[in-house]
Amino acid sequence: MTVSSAPGKVYLFGEHAVVYGEPAVPCAIERRATVSVEPRADDHIRVTARDLSLDGFTVEYGQSPDERPDVDVPTPLVEAATGYVDAAVEQARDAVSDPEAGFDVTIESDIPLGAGLGSSAAVVVASIDAATRSLGVELDPVEIAERAYQAEYEVQSGQASRADTFCSAMGGAVRVEGDDCRTIDTPNLPFVVGFDGGAGDTGALVAGVRDLKERYAFAADTVETVGDIVREGETLLADADADGDPDEELLAELGNLMDFNHGLLEALGVSSRSLDNMVWAARMAGAHGAKLTGAGGGGCIVALDPTPETETGLRFTPGCEDVFRAELATEGVRVEAESAVGARGDDGGEAGERDEGAE
């Protein structure tokens, strides 16, 4: 069995605008999706999903249309555990030149599903790495990032950006602008994440911003202004000492930019009452800045605060279900365990069958 993991992320700046070619700076955090893969003797895929913020399940299916999974679990979990895994498996098959490779796949994640922390990207990145390694092929993280982007692009009907998958594959802080993706140096920023327990509809939120941008010139200007904020933030990071903790002046300036960024995202209609409540609670607790992270509509906010005050404030904020400090993940995708490559395993059961006693 081969086991790989990949980190989630928070956006320091730039979500939504990155879809339109503006730059974004996401940062990998030490919340990971771990994917275990065992090759099979047939072309079936058996997926076991656990800890994805919802009840888990196990399902097996083949490639033909009448062998698709039919399980009574929430749609977001099915999409995360089968849609993204399907696309990742196709990328792995292409990488190893074996279109009929089958796999038993187990997903375990401590990244809240659909909450703006890059859960799908982490699952796809880790799945591609584990699947290819299980068949004796080791891919460079840059190639994994590209293949993971293609997988997300397919599942998200062409609305994906390279930001999440590149960040998850490479780790640390990255800068993405269109097809230009690169790592950047950054101090160990003191991220605090608040989670409202919900999840936004990424497709609907992206479509909503697109509609506003096409209808109103000032909405298009707002998207461009988000890009200007990112560029200003890049300048600040470029002048900072990447080897130590950030000083108060840097945190204050980055925080101001985060506050501006959140205000613009709110104007574009992608925030929510719970996210705004958490943002204001963080600011009132003394955070240097706070904003939503990811698609919005629900999910997570990220704040900058080296003290425990923001964590305390968020814990007492109505609608905040969880709060945690997020360390910068300096490693991206990595192998956690790897057995010797051998023959594919047994067939594991009938296609399309849901296991008894599903997780």
Q: Check whether 158 has a pLDDT greater than 90.
A: no
Closest-CA residue to 117 (of 240, 212, 200)? 200
Residue 339 lies in a domain: no
Q: Is 133 exposed, middle or buried (0-12, 13-18, 19+ CB in 10 A)?
A: buried
- Claim to verify: residue 177 and residue 218 sit in the same structural domain: no
Residue 336 lies in a domain: no
- Claim to verify: residue 7 and residue 101 sit in the same structural domain: yes
- Claim to verify: residue 60 and residue 120 sit in the same structural domain: yes
Residue with tokens 């509809």: 201
What domain range is 172 assigned to?
2-181
Cβ contacts of 309-317, under 8 Å, gap ≥ 24: 309/285, 310/192, 310/282, 310/285, 310/286, 311/192, 312/285, 313/281, 313/282, 313/284, 313/285, 313/286, 314/192, 314/194, 314/278, 314/281, 314/282, 314/285, 317/194, 317/277, 317/278, 317/281
Tally of domains within the chain: 2
Q: Which pLDDT tens digit goes with each residue over 103-142?
A: 999 988 888 877 889 988 999 999 999 999 999 999 999 9
CA distances from 190 to 208, 251, 279, 297, 329 (A): 32, 9, 16, 24, 12
Can you tell me the mean pLDDT for 6-22?
A: 95
CATH of residue 151's domain is 3.30.230.10
- For the chain, where are the alpha helices, taking DSSP H only? 75-78, 84-96, 119-134, 141-155, 163-170, 202-215, 217-238, 248-267, 273-284, 309-315
- Claim to verify: residue 235 and residue 302 sit in the same structural domain: yes
- Claim to verify: residue 137 and residue 221 sit in the same structural domain: no
Q: Which percentage of the chain shows pLDDT scores above 90?
A: 68
Question: Which residues are the active-site residues?
Answer: 164
Residue with tokens 């699947």: 131
- Claim to verify: residue 116 and residue 148 sit in the same structural domain: yes
- Claim to verify: residue 163 and residue 195 sit in the same structural domain: no
Residue 351 lies in a domain: no
Q: What angle do CA 129, 176, 33 make, to 5 degrees?
A: 30
Distance CA 49, CA 78 (A): 9
Distance CA 135, CA 131 (A): 7
Q: Which pLDDT tens digit goes with each residue over 261-300?
A: 999 999 999 999 999 999 999 999 999 999 999 999 999 9
Residue 49 lies in a domain: yes
Residue 147 lies in a domain: yes
- Claim to verify: residue 25 and residue 135 sit in the same structural domain: yes
What token pair was written down for 266? 């709110």
The residue out of 132, 166, 181 marking a domain boundary is 181
Residue 332 lies in a domain: no
Can you tell me the mean pLDDT for 247-265?
A: 97
CATH of residue 203's domain is 3.30.70.890
- Claim to verify: residue 202 and residue 170 sit in the same structural domain: no
- Claim to verify: residue 134 and residue 203 sit in the same structural domain: no
Distance CA 69, CA 51 (A): 20
Q: Strands 300-304, 289-292: parallel, antiparallel or unpaired by DSSP? A: antiparallel
pTM attached to this predicted model: 0.85
Distance CA 58, CA 142 (A): 31
- Claim to verify: residue 155 and residue 231 sit in the same structural domain: no
